[in-house]
Structure formats: structure tokens, C-alpha cells
Amino acid sequence: MRHSDIIVVGAGMAGLMAAITAAKAGKSVSVLSEGAGVLSIGSGAVDFLGYVDGKKIMDSPYNHLEELPKNHPYNIAGESNIKDAFASLIEISGNNGYKIKISDDGCNQTAISIVGTTKPTYICSDSNNASRILKAKKILFAGVEYLKDAQVALAVKQAKHYKIFAEAELNYAMLPSPFGKTHRVLNCLDIARYVDKEEGFNWLKSELLKCSAGYDAVIIPPICGTVNYIKNYEALKNEGLSIVESLSIPPGVGGYRLRDAFMNEAKKLNVKFIENCNVQRAVTEDNKCMGLVAVHNNIAGAIETEYYAEQFIIATGGVIGGGIVSTPDKVYEKIFNIQLESPETVEERSDKNVFGSHKFTKFGVNVNEKFQAIGSNGSPVYENVYFAGNTLGNYDFPTEKSGYGVACVTGYTAALSAVKSK
């Protein structure tokens, strides 16, 4: 298990996309990960590009790629790879029980959060697509008793600030909890798992039919199920219910569905997962990586193990994920100790406006068209190492709303480069 054709470090969107893409090409692939990645706590919707310079994008994001810097990961990957990566994402998900899609017109879709805010997203399930109810005249926000994540009165108050709901009558209702009062706070995943069962689905259907009379649409938390959500959602539609699942805070039910689909596909392709694996450093020779040294913690203490491969894909995340390290003196990529450009002082690395564009979100490795790290002379630092996801620099995923999109595209493109390499 310590030697593979390709080693991927990181099990988030970028890492899993890279692993599956490489395995589909017939390569033996191992994924080294310290944890499960953040994919499982996300919304399950995949944003492509929601904003450029603060301007909301509701047409096709492809129309706005030229407005991004030339060294933005999307422009490095190119439009063809973007389209192929998203097509692969949709195929992987659909083949493994999570049906997501791009809108028929190729434009961004509207999603609504559990607190009543809206945002543009590019790929999501029908259940999350709120664009189809924007002309509804009467909309109900339905929560569940004791589900504190879903404060529907607050959600209605927030939604009324949006022009898209200006002509609609918005109200809220609370479904009685199927569990009564519990010893701990319920979350959406608890209820979604219950709705996977026949008795749980019958509870949801019955309660929604009771409260939805006279409404054109009902917005609910993401509780239509985890493994059976497609069947349940379609069954509710057949009852005449126009349902939209909101995007929730962690634990994200949609993210659970998406990661489950990725993991199922990876297992079909015999991708090996080595977890609780903290990669510390690389073993290099000239401009080539020979192996990675990782620490495993067990009863006996920390044990170092070296893993070998022909090619390596690094998808360890940015400053928040730990792939990029920011100290008072410098900013660097953790495994290969690649020094990154950054302001001299820590204070300059963030914006005084908490919702502003923070420089630290753009810290990352500079890469060429193959997603190899490049030095100041433009040449690859290591010929068999590729970077993907938030480990890359030159984009601002929080303000662009581009995080999962960049992760998907760069994981896919980095894997193609690794597969084609000699």
C-alpha cells in the first residue's frame, strides 16, 4: 500500500476529484488524508463563479472568465477543462445516488440558505434550486420543532429584504418534531436520516400536506433524506408539493450526499484511502519528489511512514485548511516548504472589513498550465508534483463564491497532467 502510481494528499473536493480522475485513467491511486475533508459539512451545491468585483453573476459564469486575472485557476485550466470537469462531477454524482445538474440555460441558479439569504450557484440538485419558485405568489418557510438550525421566523424576515421575493407573500410554520423533546439539540442530518426510513418519510409527507394548503411553494431544511432523498423528493412532488430544500450550516446534508457519492465512486475504482495520515514533508532529489513522509498516531505514539509514487497531487487546502502556513515571518506551502509571496506584516494580510477581500485567502502556490508549482523563472519546481484546490493562489474563493468550482476543476486538471506525464 506504500507505493502507487499516483498519490493524492487531501480528501476534499479537489483531492477526491483528482483521485477519481486518475483512477478512471487506469492508474493505481492512494489518498493520504488527515481527516475526512470539509466536503461532508458543505451544502452539496457547487458554486462556479458567483461574484466578480462584488458584482453578482446570474447569467453564465463563462461570460465573465475574462474579467478574472490571467493567473486565476480557471484561466489556467481553460474553458474546455472547466466544462469537462463539471461534466465528470455530474456523472460521478448521478451514478452514485446524488443527482445534480446545471440549469438548462447554463446560467447560475438561485439557492436559499436556512437563514433566508440567497446566493448564486451553478450546479445543484433540483431540490436546492430556488430559481423555479421565484415567481410564486405565496411561499411558506417550514421548520421543525426543536431544530434550532432552522429559525424560520428569522428566515422570513431576512428573505423579505430580497427583491426577488418582493411580490410574494412569505409566511412560516413549524412542523412538530417526530422525536418530541430530545436530550440534545437536533440537527438536519438527524432528521434526514430518519426520513430515509419509511416511517420518517410518512411523517414528513403528512406534516407538509397539513401546512402547505394554499401555498405555491414550501421551503424546508435539507431533510428529504440522505441515501433516499431523490425518491423522497420525487414522491413529495407527486403529492403536488413544490418543495425547495434550503442550504444548511454544518453538518451539511447536501455535503454528506455529495461526499458519499464521491466515496462510492472511488471505492468502485479501487482507490486506496489512508486516513489519520498527517503528511509532514517530502523526500526530493533534484527537481523530483521521491516520496512523502507522514505521521500516524496510534497507541504506541507517533509513527513515521514514507509513501512512494511516480506522481503526486497536493490538495491540502489553504491557510484555513492547513496546507498553507502563515507565520509572522513568512508564508509557505507546508509539505514542500515552497515560499509564497505575502505582505511583510501580519496586519496587512487581512481586511479591516470582516466581509471584505482578505489577502490571506489568496495565498497559495503559483502554477503553470499543468498545475506544477513554478519558481520565479517560470520553470517547474518539481516535475512530478501538481497542486489543486485551495492550495493554489491568485483567487478569492469567499468573495467570488468559487470554492468548490475551483476545487473540482483544478483537481480534475491536475490529475490529467499527472496521468499524461511520463
Residue closest to 407 by CA, chosen among 126, 20, 53, 114: 20
For residues 65 and 107, membership in a common domain is answered with no
- Please name the residue that has the C-alpha cell 437536533: 186
What is the spatial distance between Cα 244 and Cα 349, in angstroms, rounded to a whole number?
39
Q: What is the pLDDT of residues 334-362, one digit of tens each?
A: 999 998 877 666 666 676 666 667 666 77
The domain that holds 154 is classified in CATH as 3.40.50.1860
Residue 53 forms part of a structural domain: yes
In this structure, is residue 387 part of a structural domain?
A: yes
- What are the grid coordinates assigned to 408, written together? 473540482
Cα distances (Å, whole numbers) of residue 4 to 19, 307, 363, 387 = 12, 8, 30, 18
- For residue 110, which of 236, 244, 233, 250 has the smallest C-alpha distance? 244
pLDDT at residue 182, as a whole number: 83
Question: 67, 55, 169: which is closest to 120 by C-alpha?
Answer: 55
The reply to whether omega before 250 is within 30° of 0 (cis) is: no
In a domain, 234, yes or no: yes
How much is the pLDDT for 63? 97
Q: Which three cell numbers stand for residue 321?
A: 485548511
Question: Has residue 122 been placed in a domain?
Answer: yes
Q: How far apart are CA 316 and CA 32, in angstroms?
A: 10
CATH number at residue 48: 3.50.50.60
Is it the case that residue 1 has pLDDT exceeding 60? no
pLDDT of 138-149, one tens digit each?
999 999 999 988
280 lies in the same domain as 238: no
Measured CA distances, 290 to 5, 58, 133 (Å): 12, 46, 54
Single out the residue of 73, 97, 96 nearest to residue 85, CA to CA.
73
Q: Are strands 3-9 and 301-314 parallel, antiparallel or unpaired?
A: parallel
Q: Which of 249, 271, 288 is the last residue of a domain?
A: 249
Question: Which of 217, 249, 281 finishes a domain?
Answer: 249
Assess whether pLDDT exceeds 90 at residue 38: no
Higher pLDDT, 356 or 151: 151
Q: Supply angle C-alpha 26, 32, 247, rounded to 5.
A: 95
pLDDT band at 299 (very low <50, low <70, confident <90, very high): low
Q: How many angstroms separate the CA atoms of 406 and 48, rounded?
A: 7
% of the chain exceeding 90 in pLDDT: 77
- Whether 352 is in a domain gets the answer no
Q: How many CB atoms lie within 10 A of CB 59?
A: 12
- Rounded distance between C-alpha atoms, residue 272 and residue 278, angstroms: 16
Which of 199-208, 295-304, 391-400 is predicted with the least confidence, judged by mean pLDDT?
295-304
Round the average pLDDT of the chain to a whole number and report it: 92
Residue 309 pLDDT grade (very low, low, confident, very high; cuts 50, 70, 90): very high
| Helix (H) or strand (E) segment spanning residue 199 | helix 198-211
Residue 355 pLDDT: 66
Residue 374 backbone phi and psi in degrees, to 5: -120, 150
- Please say if the pLDDT value at position 128 is more than 90: yes
By DSSP bridging, strand 288-298 and strand 301-314 are: antiparallel
Is the distance from CB of 219 to CB of 156 less than 8 angstroms? no
Q: Are residues 285 and 179 part of one domain?
A: no
What is the CB neighbour count within 10 angstroms for residue 135?
11
Q: In this predicted structure, what is the pLDDT of residue 348?
A: 62
How many CA atoms lie within 13 Å of 366's alpha carbon, on the beta-carbon side? 15
Between CA 386 and CA 346 the distance in angstroms is 28
Give the tens place of pLDDT for each residue, 222-277: 999 999 999 999 999 999 999 999 998 887 899 999 999 999 999 999 999 998 88
Average pLDDT over residues 1-15: 92
Q: Where are the extended beta strands (E) located within 299-362?
A: 301-314, 324-326, 331-333, 338-340
Assess whether 106 and 67 both reside in one domain.
no
Instruction: Name the band, by pLDDT with cuts 50, 70 and 90, for residue 41.
Output: confident
How far apart are alpha carbons 281 and 290 in whole angstroms? Answer: 11
Number of domains observed in the structure of the chain:
2
**Residue 198 is part of which domain span?**
101-249
Q: pLDDT tier at 39 (50, 70, 90 boundaries)?
A: confident
Residue 418 has pLDDT above 60, yes or no: yes
Does residue 269 sit within a domain?
A: yes
Domain boundary pick from 202, 229, 249:
249
pLDDT tens, position by position, 48-98: 999 999 999 999 999 999 999 999 999 999 999 999 999 999 999 999 999
Within this chain, do residues 239 and 272 fall inside the same structural domain, yes or no? no
Here the cell at position 23 is: 483512477
Q: Which residues pair with 247 in a beta bridge?
A: 113
Residue 351 belongs to some domain of the structure? no
Same domain, 56 and 199: no
Neighbours of 368 (CB within 10 A): 15
